[in-house]
Amino acid sequence: MEPLKYDLIIIGSGSGNSLIDPRLDHLRIAMVDDAPWYGGTCLNVGCIPTKMFVLPADHAVAPAEAARLGVTQHTDHVDFPAIRDRVFGRIDPIAEGGLDWRRRQPHVEVHRETAAFVDAHTLELSPSGQRITADQIVLAAGSRPRSAVEPDADIAHLVHTSDSVMRIDALPKRMVILGGGFIAAEFGHVFSAYGVDVTVVTRGPALLRREDRDISAKFTEQLGRQVKLALNQPVKGIHAGADGGVRVVTTDAEGREVVHEADLVLNAVGRVPNGDRLNLPAAGVEVDGRGFVKVDEHQRTTVAHIWALGDVASPWMLKHVANHEMRVVMHNLLHPHDLVASDHRYVPHAVFAHPQIGAVGLTEQELEAQGTPYLVQVQQYGSVAYGWAMEDQEHFLKLLADPRTGRLLGAHVMGPQAATLVQQLIHMMSFDQDIESVATKQYWIHPALPELIENGLLGLVAQRRDWLKQQGGVANDQGRADS
């Protein structure tokens, strides 16, 4: 069987699919993806469907919050099949339509098979055995759920991942979620809000341990009111339980065995890149110690004509990062003598749990580890007019700034609209704006929640002025310290 020759091979139909636009119409392109869905993780099993499950969960918990404001509401029933069918009744046609559209493009051939390198220019597809070659290859193969302890074979159907749990037929009465990261946090909110008795099991002492320590501690406390928390409990085994259920066996901090009974287990201990499925050594493509494909600032791998983007190469594993890297690869394919670099300086993220989190930049513990001087300002939601009207006593903004330059080093928000509020702080950092200019040289709508940012920045400005006085200097208009 003769190899099929292309100008460009793309492995992965998430952000890799977005790479194909009219600027590449002059190329013969092969799109390779063996996933059961087309369009990548975000569309089918990630960002979009999960947030569509979060929205009704937010409504389900609203009555408890409304009661303290004098409004009586009730959540009498959660129709999970209706929620599920609404989500995938919208998403599945988009995925199917995207595949159909690709297949109808005359310069693109879609291969719904698994690809593995034979050499640096050639891949073999299975199960057909067809080989394909190209001058340029883009790896956008994504990631998959990480395996926790393997369950006993007879109850494997009761152990789900984020790829499958959203399509179950009915809500379980009891669920154990394994993991302490954002996937566990979001699904903990979703299923507990839907009325499931949820236990979150994690081997660490807190949830969201990569967040700023104040965010992690407060989030763990607040989610612990919605779900049962089993902290510091590594999993030993997953076995058949009573009445057709599941027994999750852990050990606690003292080494004692603990048993958690459930009807369903969600394995949410993270994701791993799919580079190990591509036989990368045959092409000479290197990976790092965690399995991510090594790329330079231009998204080029250790082989000059092979590029990589998204989860297969990016430890952030975020859709907005993959989209950014896709645009960089697009430019560099079209302009090989005028390469541009990815900008990963200020990568933001959000956790759509209850409460919501939005963050960008460094955490306080990271700054401490670096030995970087910093100022810290914690601003409570209830300290500004809208937060006061909400009677919010638990949520906050935490800002970290360099006293020498007046620039933000990190911003962390936990509370209503956190993922939206953090965007202006991302803007500040990306465009190198100083804290005093942003705080004082624009209008802040009163009484709107962004005043939280204004007051937080003003607090940093005051701290910085005190710091400069102690150093014997003053700040100029650009935020620099002049002695």
Quick one: which of 338, 282, 279, 286 has its CA closest to 308?
Answer: 286
121 is catalytic: no
Rounded to an integer, what distance in angstroms lies between the CA atom of residue 397 and that of residue 415? 8
Instruction: Report the helix count and the strand count for the chain, using DSSP H and E.
Output: 12, 24
Locate 398 and state its tokens. 């935490």
3-state secondary structure of 13: coil
Contact 139, 284 (CB under 8 A): no
Q: Which region, left, alpha or beta, applies to residue 148 given φ > 0 means left and ψ of -120 to 50 means alpha?
A: beta
Indicate the pairing of strand 271-273 with strand 143-145.
antiparallel
Query: Do 277 and 114 touch, CB atoms closer than 8 A?
Result: yes
Contact between 281 and 196 (Cβ < 8 Å): no
One of 157, 335, 344, 446 is an active-site residue; which one?
446
User: Alpha helices of 194-318 — where are they, by DSSP H?
Assistant: 213-223
CA proximity to 30, closest of 163, 169, 128: 128
Backbone angles phi, psi at 104, to 5 degrees: -90, -5
Q: How many angstroms separate the CA atoms of 213 and 386, rounded?
A: 26
Compute the distance between CA of residue 347 and CA of residue 343 in angstroms, rounded to an integer. Answer: 9
Chain position carrying tokens 């409004």? 71
Please spell the DSSP secondary structure of 374-401, one letter per residue. -EEEEEEGGGSHHHHHTT--S-EEEEEE
Q: What span, in angstroms and rounded, lies between the C-alpha atoms of 268 and 246? A: 16
Q: Which helix (H) or strand (E) holds 201?
A: strand 197-201
For residue 360, CA distances in Å to 399, 412, 459 come to 10, 7, 19
Name the amino acid, one letter, at 43. L
DSSP bridge partners of 29 = 8, 108
DSSP string, 97-159: HHHHHHHT-TTEEEE-SEEEEEETTEEEEETT--EEEEEEEEE---EEEPP-SPPPGGGGGGE
In contact, 358 and 418? CB cutoff 8 Å: yes
Q: How far apart are CA 61 and CA 195, in angstroms?
A: 10
Q: Is the peptide bond before 127 cis (omega within 30 degrees of 0)?
A: yes
Q: Which residues are catalytic?
A: 446
